[in-house]
Amino acid sequence: MTAPSDPAAGLFSGEWPKSGGAEVVARLLAGCVALQASDLHVVANEFPHARLAGELRPLPAWGRPTAEQTAGLASELARQAGRGELPDLGAVDGAVGEPPQPRFRFNVYRRRQAWGVALRRLEDRISNLTSLGLRTDLYDLGSLTQGLVVVAGPTGAGKSTTLAALIDHINQTRRCHIVTIEDPIEYLHPPALSLVTQRQVGSDVAGFGVALVEALRQDPDVILVGEMRDRETMRTALTAAETGHLVFSTVHAGSCAQGVERLVAVFPAEEQSSIRRQLSLVLRCLVAQSLVRADGPKGGRGRRVPLSEILMMTPGVAHLVASGKTSQLESAIQTGAGEGMQTFANDLARLVREGLVSEMSARNLLRSDGSE
């Protein structure tokens, strides 16, 4: 990208601003909005890069920040997100921006003994399931009074966006108390019919596990755990789902069967049998999703759409989970369409019919998945 085609070039005028950190953050966010960029990367002594329609482009009109300037930017982002001082090693996650301004998620990290910044613009509004390309009958999960609903997928697959749509629907349709535990808080949920309490790990509470224990004392009806990262968080989430709460969460897994195994595998071998039985009693639905490029005639340059697999808890599925026969879950999903289940292959066929994904890409996806 050259300077004349950069609508944000005037914010930087060919060199990195020497003003204070807060003004630099404001200019960066404004520049990202002006470019309609999904992501922005800033590292020391290099031109910033923006992701435009899926492609990463340099921004020479913005100048090259020094190591001292990227450190100031990283420190200011951490301060605005309530993350405190930067650590000597590692990385810090957070989110900045309050309505009506756009909201951004960030990761600041050490790179060659200097600080780098990765910013991602979040959706200005919480999307509904229709606009996300997901089945609207998933909203029925929000009417459950207890149980566990899990969204699985790799990093960047849109798990948080899907959960935000489900939580927003509950907020608009039920009179209840929703507690969310996130790191960072990505989507803000102003109370509608529900009271929504959002807590951020690292600034409001020390960790997911302790926040979940505390949430059980806060008269919750619905609990969102942004990610079940460790054994104790998973154990407490299962107990919460078992004792009259509706719990939503995510795991990193590529399919529903892998999601079930991921939930079990974090426990010691001697506990896994009892965990499988407990999971078979509390799990209500597991949705596995990934994002695929929309290269069909009705797609769009750089656009990606969700591809999903849905496992609903039926007596037959519960038996497979409890007995550890997760290898048979794919077959159960294939024969469970009448129970609301869906295979990746069936959803991919829908994307082809709707003109969102080309037949060639669909065949390649099926081959890579081993489904053909």
Residue by residue, what is the 3-state secondary structure of 253-278? CCCHHHHHHHHHHCCCHHHHHHHHHH
Instruction: Give DSSP secondary structure letters for 11-25.
Output: GTTTS---S-HHHHH
Q: Residue 156 has which token pair? A: 């960047």
What are the phi and psi torsion angles at 342 (to 5°)? -155, 135
Q: What pLDDT does residue 24 have?
A: 84
Residue 317: pLDDT over 80: yes
Q: Contact at 8 Å (CB) between 223 and 248?
A: yes
Residue 218's nearest CA partner among 240, 201, 238, 203 is 240
**Per 3-state DSSP, what percentage of the chain is helix, strand, and coil (rounded to 5)?**
40, 25, 35
Which domain does 82 fall in, by range? Answer: 6-121
Does 46 share its domain with 155? no
Spatial distance between the Cα atoms of 325 and 261, rounded to a whole number of angstroms:
10
What's the one-letter identity of residue 11?
Answer: L
Does 171 share its domain with 201? yes
Q: Read off the pLDDT band of 3 (50, 70, 90).
A: very low
Spatial distance between the Cα atoms of 9 and 2, rounded to a whole number of angstroms:
9
Last residue of a domain, one of 121, 144, 174: 121
Q: Which residue has the tokens 């070039």?
A: 9
Spatial distance between the Cα atoms of 195 and 176, rounded to a whole number of angstroms:
6
Lowest-pLDDT range of 16-30, 174-188, 206-220: 16-30
Is omega for the bond preceding 65 within 30 degrees of 0, making it cis? no
Spatial distance between the Cα atoms of 235 and 212, rounded to a whole number of angstroms:
10
Residue 220's nearest CA partner among 234, 200, 199 is 199
Residue 88: pLDDT over 70: yes
Does 212 share its domain with 321? yes
Q: What pLDDT does residue 372 have?
A: 43
Q: Residue 2 has which token pair? A: 């050259």
Q: What pLDDT does residue 258 have?
A: 95
Q: Read off the pLDDT band of 186 (50, 70, 90).
A: confident
Question: Does residue 148 form part of some domain?
Answer: yes
Does 133 share its domain with 117? no
Does 139 share its domain with 95? no
Does 148 share its domain with 210? yes
Q: How many structural domains comprise the chain?
A: 2
Question: Does residue 144 form part of some domain?
Answer: yes
Instruction: Please state, rounded to an integer, the average pLDDT across all residues of the chain.
Output: 88
Note the pLDDT tens digit of each residue in 262-300.
999 999 999 999 999 999 999 999 999 998 888 888 877
Q: Which residue has the tokens 């890579």?
A: 368
Average the pLDDT over 107-130 and give the result: 86
3-state secondary structure of 246: strand
Average the pLDDT over 108-116 and give the result: 86
Does 43 share its domain with 176? no
Q: What pLDDT does residue 344 have?
A: 95
Q: Residue 271 has which token pair? A: 């506990």
Q: Residues 6 or more apart from 295 whose CB is under 8 A from it?
A: 357, 358, 361
Average the pLDDT over 136-151 and give the result: 95
- ∠ at Cα 246 (240, 249), nearest 5°? 85
CATH code for the domain in which residue 281 is found: 3.40.50.300
Residue 318: pLDDT over 90: yes
Average the pLDDT over 343-364 and give the result: 93
Q: What pLDDT does residue 2 have?
A: 40
**Environment class of residue 213 by beta-carbon count within 10 Å: exposed (0-12), middle (13-18) or buried (19+)?**
middle
Does 318 share its domain with 211? yes
Does 134 share its domain with 116? no
Residue count of the chain: 372
Spatial distance between the Cα atoms of 75 and 84, rounded to a whole number of angstroms:
8
Q: Which residue has the tokens 């079930």?
A: 260
Helix H or strand E segment including 105: strand 104-111
Q: What pLDDT does residue 366 have?
A: 84
Does 172 share its domain with 255? yes
Residue 259's nearest CA partner among 281, 223, 234 is 234
Instruction: Give DSSP secondary structure letters for 283-317.
Output: EEEEEEEEEEE--STT--TT-EEEEEEEEE--HHH
Q: Read off the pLDDT band of 38 (50, 70, 90).
A: confident
CATH code for the domain in which residue 93 is found: 3.30.450.90
Question: Does residue 1 form part of some domain?
Answer: no
Q: What pLDDT does residue 156 have?
A: 77
